[in-house]
Amino acid sequence: MGSNILFNLMLIALCLLPFGHSLEMGETCSPSSKCDAGLSCQSCPANGNTESTCTRIQPLNPTSKVNGLPFNKYSWLTTHNSYAITGANSATGSILLSPKNQEDSITNQLKNGVRGIMLDTYDFQNDIWLCHSTGGTCFNFTAFQPAANALKEINDFLESNLSEIVTIILEDYVKSPNGLTKVFKASGLSKFQLPLSRMPKDGKDWPTVDDMVKQNQRLVVFTSKKDKEASEGFAYQWNYMVENQYGNEGLKDGSCSSRSESSPLDTKSRSLVFQNYFETNPNTTQVCADNSSPLIEMMRTCHGAAGKRWPNFIAVDFYQRSDGGGAAEAVDEANGRVTCGCDSLAYCKSNAPFGTCDAPPPKSSPSPVTGQTSKRDPTNLPVGNAGSTAIGLSSLILISAATLLLW
């Protein structure tokens, strides 16, 4: 009887061991080997990387090294068409013909550090729906779901994460009077909205992030409809930000120009800078290449075009896809340069003078960003490392089993 229990304990311990080991950024992986938290196992044949490696899907928390700066001094990972998710069905029951731009739920995007959510809002079936359509009219076969569903996901996140700030950018086709107001109220989100009166129109600094947290004004909402600012108090996007061209036009090497609705990128009376970087037609094969070095190159080009300003929002399709560091690395670079004067937020020291940086890891390191002085510095991991817990547990069982044996 007793030795049976011992034997079982040993077996459990042995089974736990292989799962306890998880892989670092850049290491070769397979469906049976687990990457560290914040990484996913993927390849990028479009870049010639046919072998699967652990790839970053989470940026560092922008405020983790230097907190308390104005909102416009941080860069936020943003998902283009956040609601258009692979495998989604139309809540009308119809087939859904609209393209898909992301792969996981808004809840999961938020969990992975996405802080800019882009939604297309339409009047539809006596309600406000998320829809990707044409001519401003939603059809059953272009309708995703009622907007309130997605807004509730954001509300739940803000309610359970009291120091997080989220921005919603609406491509807004809603004409019904107070349509947006109603749906933001119904989802619970209006209580978090930063009021218009706190948004600077003259290029001045925004409220600081710690003040936004203290006042519980942790939601910033922009609409593409100019008249909503006067009628409902929703900020008209291009009164506050400049934005580059989206789609294929915005991917052209070496040039970064403004989209037609935006003032020129170097307009300093707009204190926010929004960078789009995605194809006109989302392409799951090509996107991992787009979200890699070309994205960072374009970010640097746009920095020049925007009067030496780094983007506050970096909007991509399939934000988890890249050949290594991806959109997470771009966001870390922008945050490092703005908040601490380092090449990446990963090299910034907490609460140190501007420009005090840790040395980047040696070139031979497989990790361009996660490495600091020590490659496994736990402060670099976006969330707790479940792998080491499993190792701890299995060694504990092994030790207990050995102790019992000695008895």
Ligand X SMILES: *[C@@H]1O[C@H](CO)[C@@H](O)[C@H](O)[C@H]1NC(C)=O
Point out which residues bind ligand X (CB under 6 A): 46, 92-94, 140, 160-161, 164, 283, 285-286
The Cα 90–Cα 174 span in angstroms is 19
Nearer to ligand X, 269 or 285 (CB): 285
Nearer to ligand X, 135 or 362 (CB): 135
Give 235's contacts (C-beta < 8 A, 6+ positions apart). 196, 199, 220, 221, 222, 223, 229
Nearer to ligand X, 143 or 174 (CB): 143
Q: Do the beta carbons of residue 274 and residue 312 sit within 8 Å? A: yes
CB of 94 to ligand X, least distance (A): 6
CB of 29 to ligand X, least distance (A): 22
Tell me the Cα Rg of the chain.
23
Nearer to ligand X, 52 or 92 (CB): 92
CB of 8 to ligand X, least distance (A): 33
CB of 386 to ligand X, least distance (A): 13
Nearer to ligand X, 52 or 90 (CB): 90
Give 347's contacts (C-beta < 8 A, 6+ positions apart). 336, 357, 358, 359, 360, 372
CA terminus-to-terminus distance, the chain: 15
CB of 159 to ligand X, least distance (A): 9
CB of 16 to ligand X, least distance (A): 23
Nearer to ligand X, 53 or 109 (CB): 109
Please name the amino acid found at residue 97.
L
Q: Do the beta carbons of residue 96 and residue 60 sit within 8 Å? A: no
Q: How many CB atoms lie within 10 A of CB 102?
A: 25
